[in-house]
Amino acid sequence: MTIQVKRVTLEVTPAQHRKLRDASAKFDTTQAELLGYLIDITLTNTDVVKTAVEAQVRKRKLEEERARQTEEQAKQLISTLSPEALARLLSGEADLSKL
């Protein structure tokens, strides 16, 4: 029986890539083999996976909301600056902590 292999493209963070690389070396597998094993293992434990994935999604959404709020606060702060202060900020003569 021939095994048909499918290719997928993943987007991972540099930290995730390092973890995958290190783990595949530790287990003496290729990264693709290790990912296949992880898929098989995790999808047989769907209750555990569901809880973990939901937690990661909540964490990501919270981080995105914080980043959005920080960006909005920065925009509001910049909009209150005088033209002179804005020019100093843009030229690098000053930073927001000194204004």
Q: Are 99 and 81 in contact (CB under 8 A)?
A: yes
Q: What is the pLDDT of residues 1-15, one digit of tens each?
A: 788 888 889 999 999
Q: pTM of the predicted model, to two decimals?
A: 0.56
Count the neighbouring beta carbons within 10 Å of the beta carbon of residue 52. 12
Q: What is the pLDDT of residues 32-67, one digit of tens each?
A: 999 999 999 988 888 888 898 999 999 999 999 999
